[in-house]
Amino acid sequence: MPVPRVIGVDLGGTKLLAGAVDPDLGIHHRVQRTVTGLDQQTLLDVAAQAVTETIAAVATRIEAVGFGIPVLIDRGTGRAVVGVNTLLHDIAFADVMSRRIGLPVFVDNDGNCAALAEHRAGACRGYSEAIVVTLGTGIAGGLILRDEIYRGALGAAGELGHMVIEFDGPPCHGNCPNHGCAEVYVSGTALVQEARWLGQTRPGSGLGRALGSDRVISGPVITELAEAGDESAIEAITLIGSRLGVVLANLINIFNPQVIAIGGGVIAAGELLLSPARAVVADRVLPFLADGVEIVATRFGVEAGMVGAAALAYGELARTAPAPLMSRSGR
């Protein structure tokens, strides 16, 4: 008899990734959609369609759906309040999607979902104090403190991308009212901006030739050129890695984690990104704290949010399941 599964959905600022996930967090089907610039109603439609397509593709019962979304979530009311890089706002997301899909729906911030996946079965497994930083359109963060996701007083902790690293820096993205946030300097969006600038100023470089041929400069393209030896692409990734090191140094000095796992699309650059980050951390972290922390790539990469959303659904199903009835003898 097929084992029942859940569907995990990572709804990011530019892409949606859905998958059928088994209890061991193995993925059995994937659906991907581009969601850049969609209004709230259309975004909900696309998400529901992706879930329906995934259900149709797997020959087993689906018990529930978990969503990781880039939105501040009020844990008291369950409302998705506001996001920086999405038009989702002020919506009882789980209730709305449950009515559309016809299954139980559970929702959390996408950074928390990525952290849950890595803590359960990934790079943070076995660590009680861990941080997961996801570099994508923006920066998602998840804090594992004392073996649990830390959500703060209102349920919205972990917005690591909105740590200010330059007092008079440029305005942050989207709905963030701040200036000089880490997200402006360290995200996948920041990498593309730096690479485009280098390509424009160095037309003979690999980046410059890519721009001249109207090739879309994206994270994968920059990584491909860097791995092929293009010095400008390497410089762009090194710069983002060094800035990432500043962010990580702050996190280490504040939280004293055992491990920080870096994920999202930018981590495809691997050691080209992590080596400069570690070098900056070594220079900036308080000496005692520097000795006890590892900086590694996530195990699940760009699928961490989706896998974590599924893990969230499994956890919530177990938590809300009725207790087994006792026999009349009390045993």
Judgement on whether residues 92 and 163 belong to the same structural domain of the protein: no
Q: Both 94 and 238 in a single domain?
A: no
Claim to verify: residue 146 and residue 165 sit in the same structural domain: yes
Q: Does 114 fall in a domain?
A: no
Give yes or no: residues 143 and 68 share one domain: no
Looking at the fold, whether 92 and 137 belong to one and the same domain comes out as no
Full residue range of the structural domain in which residue 141 is found: 123-298
- Per-residue pLDDT tens, the chain, 331 aa: give them: 567 799 999 998 889 999 999 999 999 999 999 988 888 999 999 999 999 999 999 988 999 999 999 999 887 777 888 887 788 888 999 999 999 999 999 999 999 999 999 999 999 999 999 999 999 989 999 999 999 999 998 888 999 999 999 999 999 988 899 999 999 999 999 999 999 999 999 999 999 999 999 889 999 999 999 999 999 999 999 999 999 999 999 999 999 999 999 999 999 999 999 999 999 999 999 988 888 899 999 999 999 999 999 999 999 998 877 655 443 334 3
Is residue 325 assigned to a domain? no
Q: Are residues 182 and 246 in the same domain?
A: yes
Mark whether 66 and 214 lie in a shared domain.
no
Same domain, 196 and 290: yes
For the chain, the three-class secondary structure string (H helix, E strand, C coil) is CCCCEEEEEEECCCEEEEEEECCCCCEEEEEEEECCCCCHHHHHHHHHHHHHHHHHHCCCCEEEEEEEECCEEECCCCEEEECCCCCCEEECHHHHHHHHHCCCEEEEEHHHHHHHHHHHHCCCCCCCCEEEEEECCCEEEEEEECCEECCCCCCCCCCHHHCECCCCCCECCCCCCCECEHHHHHCHHHHHHHHHHHHHHCCCCHHHHHHHCCCCCCHHHHHHHHHCCCHHHHHHHHHHHHHHHHHHHHHHHHHCCCEEEEECHHHHHCHHHHHHHHHHHHHHCCHHHHCCCEEEECCCHHHHHHHHHHHHHHHHHHHHCCCCCCCCCCC
Residues 135 and 72 in one domain: no
The number of distinct structural domains making up the chain is 2
